[in-house]
Structure 1
């Protein structure tokens, strides 16, 4: 809250709420000294007491609840919210999160820098990165693999965060992470290669509608590079993000990710020094530097040096500070008496209303993947229920979770719903690790062992339930109640030795446990197996046998498997596959062998390949880590008190499906997501079953054809033909037939979630603008709706069409591609082989280079009119000579048109033009193929006619 000093009390402009926002911002900006403005570029902006300006900090984590600030309501993970397909619900969840964040801002001390700024009202959420690869370590943070779905859910979350007041924001949502960020391995140095179609149709498409709607107030740049250029100096911040925002009347406040500005030099080597890198980031559009923690001096010093060296101007500083000040005015900082949200009290945190909403959200996100009649469970017919598995009655927090005020696990939820105890067992072995040297058990205790995959185990003290952890002094102590730290020290390998013993190895350090023979002290200090202590693994309790006995004694078993959000897939760590942990898969098979009436509940941050379960079990469900009410929500669904209303927000692939390489971001060529993947999935995007039945009839279009700039209404009648009330997600897909480009197999155009009573019908109408049929035309550099035939499908999922209707788009046919006497960008190809997309300069432009200089790379430009061409000119850069001849070859079919030698230009950003006459001048429309041999870059080419050659 601002409190004007006496000397500033009579300031005439910026404190006056009656004045236009722009005038207030400009006035305050003019009153700040240059040093004060520079200081405000750091995440921790200091106060300016002489003007009554308080300290300010960018960023509070609020992805699915207020994070890191103490007890707060924890809602389902973002991927779980995405599974609800319910924009109204997501908006209400975000509203609850923002209300609690307001309470933390006003009533709770900050967790860091208590003397510098209160808890920020800038919400670093939602995450709009698309879930292209289910192995992404941060899969839990995104909503969907589809840009339309992600944008709709993301906009709803933003509107819930910001509130409905026309002047003041409840909190300020920041979209993460711009752009094309979907891998953790080498995330700070890897580059996402985006051809223009993928850039505009896929990655930008998730951000564009949210920004253009005015729902977002900011964005965070991503760690990775795109086309060889770090996102923190990407021209797309200005040419796309801010261009979309301009019509809304507000600019986006763009923040860096943590330490990313320093990475521009320290890890990416993109700039020679930090003054250059920070200056370039500021000019590219970064307004606030999240770097060096609370140490503002280092960052501000770098920016001051950039200013002194002429790398930036005061106008660049002012532009960033103006955006920050505008946001602070909108958050009510300077008008506490008018701020409609200033009176929110601490009582809203974990309020009864928010608990009820948490339960509703967790329930709506449960997806029924398979059901052969086992569900819903009838307690009268199956009174004895066994809940089995490592997540049977345990809930976990992820890195961006708040601290759960309470936890209701699956077994507890079922027990409460039934009014009776259920049998529960995690199915874990209980072991002792006895030192061969001393004969003493490790920690003087025994441990329950849980397999989280890739032979990564956690060991919990059977007496206290606390995790064995590796301490800074290399000792081992079982004292951790919760695994939630940046460097996870609670996971271990038990590696078999030749003599039947095992070696205990830390996953984090890679070192082995050793025993000092003098005093018996155990430390994790051995670098080799030979120096490690051999441990006798003594089985004290057989977890599988206990699970088998529980299943045999029950009428039905509920097996709860999945992941720990901090192990095997998390920020900084991708998964290597989609397989269930081996011990979990074995436990499931053990239970099913004695109790065929088994329902599998997968509680996870991402999809698993559960092929065996789908083939052998009568029921399979999925939920994300659903927060504090997970157990109550699952009990409601399992027992039929609630419908399974969720639908998958991403494809679940089969275990034997050879997924593309994680760093292949070309969804078209690689075959990512339901749009382009060729193999049949285990469970498709949009899939989810219900306990009732829905019938679709009467699909009709308002007209059979539409102009390229027109629209059509799509109407269908939905009926609940079953005996229960339920909800259905009606999904509308479009498909281009006989397209001149490689079109998606299906593409989501719209959706709606509808609740119906038994026997109730409702007519639904979708407005389908022709622009929903558009593709990015590399010839014109804009979206285009081609004339021709399309198919409109109403479906239950991407692989389950129900009704289809034809639609014809009318208009002039696209002309052949003209490349003669015209500059054509190399990235505007129609197809490619073995290429990489790189930066043409540090500031803008893309180029193409062979992915491997030892292997030729090919670009294909389809339907090119070559008439009149007699010469080719190519813009190339070649840093140094390599092995063999570097050359560019042009062909039309089997006809060699030109073969150009590529000289050394001295630097990858130093460009030259090479020319060659055609050996045989072509004529007519043909495909043009350019083949790059050797390590050089191609930015553009042009064919010249005799008139210009």
Structure 2
């Protein structure tokens, strides 16, 4: 007998059985309603409302005060899985705590972001962990395990990985297609998601806005073919906000929203985030799709069953048994200590000529200068700070306030129109105090929206404004007292914001020179795209929602009261040592919706470190940023450089501890720092192999390599051993702290193929079918296509002076492999592999070799398998596109004005073929050559890009063709190549 009249209430039953029982009790309308992000309650069954989605990237976001940990890229820089797991536990506990206080907080957390940091100009680089899939996977597994919790039955929170798949550009992010060849797909982009899913700590994924190979991620067959093949757990796929509508509105991939919604549901999307809290639009589309026969009730039930399984796992129906139901852990002493530990471990010492550590000696003066010297920056996915520590705060605390000088280094300017000086009227003190509240800070919701203050005017008295150029001519302006100039919904310009922020930043401007006005400038407001005009009722950028035109804009004369570089030079000359703090504001010039345009440090900040160094050679540059910079001159001229991502609430204390030597830095770069923009491929080039991206393939000399980072202790490496034990690769080495201080070291193990005479290839020359291949490689992968080296394992360890530790690693042998395009499978070629141990990808201390047995994959078996067009070895001027809307890839010229080429190496035609059959669509020309023959075929329009025609090329082909080349021109798509059999081969 059971005490629970309804089986779904019975905790003795499995979640699967309970979900099935509850599903069977729901009406069709109730089931459809559950497919929206904001699912309503089912009161007749006592089932409460449920919301998918709670941001928790590096702390609880958007829900008020919470512990703020370093940005995700900073967590990646710690290279510390254990630390990141503990942070995940803390964040999960704070989510639970805030859920108990506010039912708007959801337990289905949308974190972490595991998109790889392929391109350093990607605006959302701050949200990822690393450019390397192994490091990203390790950190993601750690964070999701912490968020999920250790209970075998109930989940602390339910993490959803973002953003599936191959998403690295904000420019045209909902219409751009990432062309991803199969090797990059399987070796790189999928790998970042796979390990966390296999670890069992992930509840689902969120598809990205972009398309991959011409098909939107929200209808990707890879959701079922790959993602759900990695686990037996019922994963939930939550759409990104507004993405279901994008399928029709911006991408035009479907003609109707009913078709798009049906296709998403059938592809595996379970939950629709669209139209905010208004669920009626999406549920209406689902009903219409059902009525039109585009879906059936089983499609709805499949998605609802997954959502119910997630809710059962979160303990919603068993509050008395849920071990996390009564967690109360917000801003605890442990969480504050953990935030400090994380900020310390994220600091990377890029260069040190002996200036650091800087001991706080009696009488030693330190000048802290720079635009971020007294800043504790947040980003779009931060919580509200309960504690705040800037570099200036930390240095003053550690060195004594009497020994610390400070100047921000802003340019102080005045703006004058024909009606007088631009000025900020005095605010009503009582009203301002009321708006700010007891804590003295504005509610974040009012940062860009205050209308209770008077707008700027022009008059006889000038207001000095602090001008900061964040790069690309994008400026912020603020008063001496601190408020930034901002624009509210009514269009008036006020000094009203404590900091730049908001989905659309309303605190950024651009000065545009006006021809014919000696030194005159218009002031363009970036948030609205309108110009500033000053009238009798005040400065504004809009009237009744309309922009001020260029011709109607006020022309201002710009007067510089003081150059920031002059103030920095004075402070530097008066101090023993200078610490220049530079970097970015995460809301400006690089964030969600906005990619960066350059690796260069903004010119204004570049001038500051140069001014400091000219006045005082003992100058340290601290880069506090979400991204790498190309600071080649600074790296050459200055004695010390450090980098840290925005470090959360304890950033300043952590930085001061590292500079003073209380903590030996051991952060490591999670991505390559390039020397200049010239080293970068195009933002939309996702072929890391062909364009030689990331440390895996980059052929140049980076400014600072992947994995780089210095410390205050020297470590010795010895006795590296490696052996293959079945399907495991076991490695070990001894690391010794040869320094005089206790410190962390990050041991990095890399692997690469190594065969004498062919240092980058794991396969040896041989014969196939009695035909000698000589120096040709009997595999689809040529040496230039293999990574230079690949991270296999890492470990961060703490050692006292003189102490040695034996470190052991255990890695699956399959990690030595690659995706074989010749056979469409993961392949570990037999041969010799080199194990490299060191302190970075460019600082290898020890090497060892292991031999791996197996069967070489051999050349492409074209007769038996044919060739999928996208399975090329090399290409020029082509892109991968969708073969059909539902599945499959094809290849097309990247430009209709220029031919593209595909190369398929080592194609084995056996005893002979009578020719080839090409499956093409569209209209254009296909030229086939190789093995001593060549032919071109011009064909008319097949009727549509998804209407394929079989075109035969009669040409006898025998043996192994070294390179089969196919040139495509026009509006043509090539899907597949098959063999025309001779009588003998048939």
Q: TM-score, normalised by structure 1?
A: 0.94
Q: 2:806 aligns with which of 763, 768, 773?
A: 763
How far is 1:381 from its partner? Answer: 7.0
**For the Cα contact (< 8 Å) 1:392–1:409, is it kept in 2?**
yes
Partner of 1:129: 115
Partner of 2:82: 88
**For the Cα contact (< 8 Å) 1:261–1:277, is it kept in 2?**
yes
Q: 2:391 aligns with which of 397, 410, 435?
A: 410
Matched, 1:452 2:470: yes
Matches within 5 A, 1:462-541: 462-463=480-481, 465-498=482-515, 499-516=518-535, 521-523=539-541, 529-541=550-562
Q: Distance in 2 between matches of 1:426 and 1:440?
A: 23
How far is 1:480 from its partner? Answer: 0.7
Task: Give CA-to-partner distance per residue, 1:157-209, whole Å, 9 cap, x none.
Answer: 00100110111111111100111111100000001111100000000011111
Matched, 1:807 2:850: yes
Matched, 1:400 2:381: yes
Partner of 2:147: 161
Partner of 1:753: 796
Partner of 2:687: 666
Partner of 1:34: 28
Matches within 5 A, 1:300-449: 300-345=283-328, 348-380=329-361, 383-421=364-402, 422-441=404-423, 443=456, 445-449=463-467
Partner of 1:695: 716
Q: 1:826 aligns with which of 869, 879, 887?
A: 869
**For the Cα contact (< 8 Å) 1:437–1:533, is it kept in 2?**
no
**For the Cα contact (< 8 Å) 2:672–2:705, is it kept in 1?**
yes
**For the Cα contact (< 8 Å) 2:113–2:127, is it kept in 1?**
yes
Q: 1:736 aligns with which of 738, 753, 756?
A: 753
Change (3 A) 1:57 1:924: closer
**For the Cα contact (< 8 Å) 2:823–2:857, is it kept in 1?**
no
How far is 1:603 from its partner? Answer: 0.3
Q: Distance in 2 between matches of 1:854 and 1:420?
A: 66
**For the Cα contact (< 8 Å) 1:468–1:479, is it kept in 2?**
yes
SS of the equivalent of 1:755 reads: strand
SS of the equivalent of 1:629 reads: helix
Partner of 1:908: 945
How far is 1:439 from its partner? Answer: 4.5
Q: Extract unaligned runs of 5+ from structure 1.
A: 1-7, 111-118
How far is 1:719 from its partner? Answer: 0.5
SS of the equivalent of 1:172 reads: coil
Task: Give CA-to-partner distance per residue, 1:559-613, whole Å, 9 cap, x none.
Answer: 0000000000010100011110000001110011011101111000010111111
Partner of 2:225: 239
Q: Distance in 2 between matches of 1:382 and 1:663?
A: 53
How far is 1:431 from its partner? Answer: 1.6
Change (3 A) 1:888 1:338: same
How far is 1:10 from its partner? Answer: 5.7
Moved more, 644-653 or 373-382: 373-382
Change (3 A) 1:414 1:405: same
Q: 1:887 aligns with which of 890, 900, 925?
A: 925
How far is 1:692 from its partner? Answer: 0.4
Partner of 1:172: 158
Moved more, 375-384 or 652-661: 375-384
Q: Distance in 1 between matches of 2:102 and 2:895?
A: 55
SS of the equivalent of 1:662 reads: coil
How far is 1:528 from its partner? Answer: 5.4
Partner of 1:5: none
Matches within 5 A, 1:221-300: 221-246=207-232, 250-300=233-283
Change (3 A) 1:830 1:441: same
Task: Give CA-to-partner distance per residue, 1:807-828, whole Å, 9 cap, x none.
Answer: 3323333322221254310011
**For the Cα contact (< 8 Å) 1:869–1:946, is it kept in 2?**
yes
How far is 1:553 from its partner? Answer: 0.4
**For the Cα contact (< 8 Å) 2:360–2:398, is it kept in 1?**
no
Task: Give CA-to-partner distance per residue, 1:647-666, whole Å, 9 cap, x none.
Answer: 00000000253310000000
Q: Distance in 2 between matches of 1:902 and 1:787?
A: 44
How far is 1:397 from its partner? Answer: 1.0
SS of the equivalent of 2:10 reads: coil
Q: TM-score, normalised by structure 2?
A: 0.91
SS of the equivalent of 2:155 reads: coil
Task: Give CA-to-partner distance per residue, 1:720-752, whole Å, 9 cap, x none.
Answer: 000001111110111123324310011101111
Q: Distance in 2 between matches of 1:297 and 1:214?
A: 34
Q: Distance in 1 between matches of 2:870 and 2:412?
A: 58
Partner of 1:56: 50
Partner of 1:113: none
Q: Extract unaligned runs of 5+ from structure 2.
A: 425-455, 458-462, 762-780
Q: Distance in 2 between matches of 1:519 and 1:244?
A: 63
Partner of 2:615: 594
Change (3 A) 1:227 1:554: same
Q: Distance in 1 between matches of 2:479 and 2:372?
A: 17
**For the Cα contact (< 8 Å) 1:387–1:559, is it kept in 2?**
yes
Task: Give CA-to-partner distance per residue, 1:385-420, whole Å, 9 cap, x none.
Answer: 010001101111100000111211001111112233
Provide the aligned C-alpha RMSD in A.
1.7
Matches within 5 A, 1:597-636: 597-636=618-657
**For the Cα contact (< 8 Å) 1:876–1:902, is it kept in 2?**
no
SS of the equivalent of 2:271 reads: coil
SS of the equivalent of 1:245 reads: coil
Q: Distance in 1 between matches of 2:421 and 2:653?
A: 45
Partner of 1:4: none
Q: 1:940 aligns with which of 976, 980, 983?
A: 976
Moved more, 867-876 or 250-259: 867-876
Q: Distance in 1 between matches of 2:880 and 2:220?
A: 14
Matched, 1:189 2:175: yes
**For the Cα contact (< 8 Å) 2:906–2:963, is it kept in 1?**
yes
Q: Distance in 1 between matches of 2:504 and 2:71?
A: 21
Partner of 1:114: none
Task: Give CA-to-partner distance per residue, 1:472-513, whole Å, 9 cap, x none.
Answer: 232211101132201111101122334112221112333221
Q: 1:583 aligns with which of 586, 604, 617?
A: 604
Task: Give CA-to-partner distance per residue, 1:692-737, whole Å, 9 cap, x none.
Answer: 00011112223xxx59x64332221110000001111110111123
How far is 1:768 from its partner? Answer: 3.5
Q: Distance in 2 between matches of 1:527 and 1:658?
A: 40
